[in-house]
Amino acid sequence: MTQEDKLIKVDRNSIMFKFWKYFSGFAAIILIALWLLQIVFLNNFYESMKIREVTKIGNYLRSEYNSPDFEYQILNYSQKKGMNIEVIDEEGHLIYPFNWVEALFKPKVMDEQTFNEFFSSIINGKEKYRVFVVKFPNLENPTLVYAGYLGLTDDVKYYITIKTSLDPVDSTIDILKKMLIIVSILSLGVSVVLSYFMSKRLSKPLVDMSKTAKKLGSGNYDISFRKGDYTEIDDLADTLNYATTELTKTIEMRKDLIANVSHDLKTPLTVIKSYGEMIRDISGNNEEKRNEHIETIIRESDNLTTLVNDLLDLSKMESNLEEINFIPVDLKNTTAKIVNRFEFQKEKDGYVFNLDFKGDCIVLGDEKKLEQVIYNLINNAINYSKAEKIITIKIEEKDNKVRFDCIDKGIGIKEDELEDIWERFYRVRDNHTRPSVGTGLGLYIVKNILELHNFEYGVNSQLGKGSDFYFIADTVK
């Protein structure tokens, strides 16, 4: 794509285009509404306003018919509103405004046909008044007429008519139209341009973010998502920055793991191979030596099995294949069972296990997974012990809670590493008493299982003195 193509091509799905489209649309809708109100409805609005006014005056005057200043009221409204107000009798003679000629000769101001047209529905009692538009042949504009019944005086019925001209609003509309055309073109132009810049400004942080994310995608982890524009984008930037840090950590740790795992796989395999060769070539006939060599082969195979198992557990956990199966678990029994699995270490390396159990100690959990937690904790206590090979396992029930402690007198953990040890693949450097032991997954697996159970957990440790790994669960009765 050339630079020119890029400039011309508009991405209709982009936030910027949509912002721009909606802003412009919004301005257009407002203008259309304005046009409709001003031009289409102005005529109707004007007419209904006049009808309302004339009806109000007519009804008021009818109600004032018997009052002494009735005539004054008529005069007042005629002048104030510029309306033609007349009172006629039932034969169409003009009674008010008073005029000598008319008083003497009593000419009819309304012929019978017009009178019937105006008042027939009022005479036969269907309604008290009517408001309608009449086009008088000698007048240019249509006239709005109010015709109503006033009352009976000396056996004569009197009626009132109010006439007002409906001036055409066309000339006003013409002026408005011209103004509106100018206003519309101007405001549409301004809103299109303004919304273009606004949308560009609004979408900029997202565009920047996407550029940064692309860099991340192409493997550049040394980036940071910029903040400081909008709260929502700031939150997103925080999340993405966090994700980047985590990603970087994971990648670092994976690199470490591959290095560790290859080393951890190679070492036992080399040992197994060389001991196998030794048996074949040297110790084959010497039972004592041979058994010793076979023992080494078995131990190294066990190490390999642990490593492979840890990796399997990890991948199962990370793909969430495992569901938790809650049943009441007797922590004392489970722990005793696991401690038995370390019988070999006890005899061979002289480890001492102190079991200190108090109460029933039944908790709700997944037995297999809790076994794994306890196994990993004891295994670490053994791996990170020094000369003092005493491991105390305390399980105590108190206030409806069970607390499990695995306490060793080993190498301990530095305070600034207490949080990191729970991370996957994390291994404290420089302090491994047995460098080939462990994958850095044991505590990560422990943490995941305990969190799945919603158990509180943690570690208290002092460098050089030992560690106490614990978890706390609710009891089941």
Nearest of 202, 244, 195, 205 to residue 228 by alpha carbon: 205
Q: Is the peptide bond before 435 cis (omega within 30 degrees of 0)?
A: no
Cβ 353 to ligand ADP, closest distance in Å? 14
Residues 321-380 that bind ligand ADP (CB under 6 A): 380
Partner residues linked to 354 by β-bridges? 392
Nearest of 5, 33, 10, 34 to residue 20 by alpha carbon: 10
Nearer to ligand ADP, 366 or 408 (CB): 408
Per-residue x/- marks for ligand ADP, 448-477, CB under 6 A? Answer: -------------------x----------
Segment lying near ligand ADP (by CB under 6 A), choices 96-104, 164-172, 268-276, 435-443: 435-443
Question: Rule CB under 6 A: is residue 427 a binding residue for ligand ADP?
Answer: yes
Q: At what angle do helices 442-453 and 367-383 cross, to 10 degrees?
A: 150
Q: Are strands 390-398 and 352-358 parallel, antiparallel or unpaired?
A: parallel
Nearer to ligand ADP, 212 or 376 (CB): 376
Question: Rule CB under 6 A: is residue 444 a binding residue for ligand ADP?
Answer: yes
Segment lying near ligand ADP (by CB under 6 A), choices 155-163, 175-183, 244-252, 420-428: 420-428
User: Quick one: tokens of 193?
Assistant: 């341009």
Nearest of 470, 459, 472 to residue 417 by alpha carbon: 459
Question: Rule CB under 6 A: is residue 203 a binding residue for ligand ADP?
Answer: no
Cβ 257 to ligand ADP, closest distance in Å? 11
Which one-letter DSSP state was computed for residue 223?
-
In whole angstroms, what is the distance from residue 454 CA to residue 370 CA? 12
Nearer to ligand ADP, 195 or 385 (CB): 385
Segment lying near ligand ADP (by CB under 6 A), choices 81-89, 125-133, 248-256, 405-413: 405-413
Cβ 311 to ligand ADP, closest distance in Å? 11
- Contact 161/145 with Cβ under 8 angstroms? yes
Phi, psi (deg, nearest 5) at residue 179? -60, -45
- Contact 253/424 with Cβ under 8 angstroms? yes
Q: Token match 């040394």: residue? A: 222
In whole angstroms, what is the distance from residue 315 CA to residue 307 CA? 12
- Contact 332/372 with Cβ under 8 angstroms? no
- Contact 304/265 with Cβ under 8 angstroms? yes
Which of 144, 408, 448, 473 binds ligand ADP (CB under 6 A)? It is 408
By CB under 6 A, the count of residues binding ligand ADP is 21
Question: Rule CB under 6 A: is residue 426 a binding residue for ligand ADP?
Answer: yes
Which of 381, 391, 393, 395 binds ligand ADP (CB under 6 A)? It is 381
Which of 164, 378, 442, 471 binds ligand ADP (CB under 6 A)? It is 442
- Contact 142/132 with Cβ under 8 angstroms? no
Question: Rule CB under 6 A: is residue 411 a binding residue for ligand ADP?
Answer: yes
In whole angstroms, what is the distance from residue 148 CA to residue 162 CA? 9
Cβ 382 to ligand ADP, closest distance in Å? 9
Which of 83, 147, 339, 443 binds ligand ADP (CB under 6 A)? It is 443
Segment lying near ligand ADP (by CB under 6 A), choices 69-77, 105-113, 334-342, 438-446: 438-446
Segment lying near ligand ADP (by CB under 6 A), choices 109-117, 147-155, 171-179, 426-434: 426-434
User: Quick one: tokens of 3?
Assistant: 């630079």
- The site for ligand ADP (CB under 6 A) is made up of 380-381, 383-384, 408, 410-413, 421, 426-428, 438-444, 467
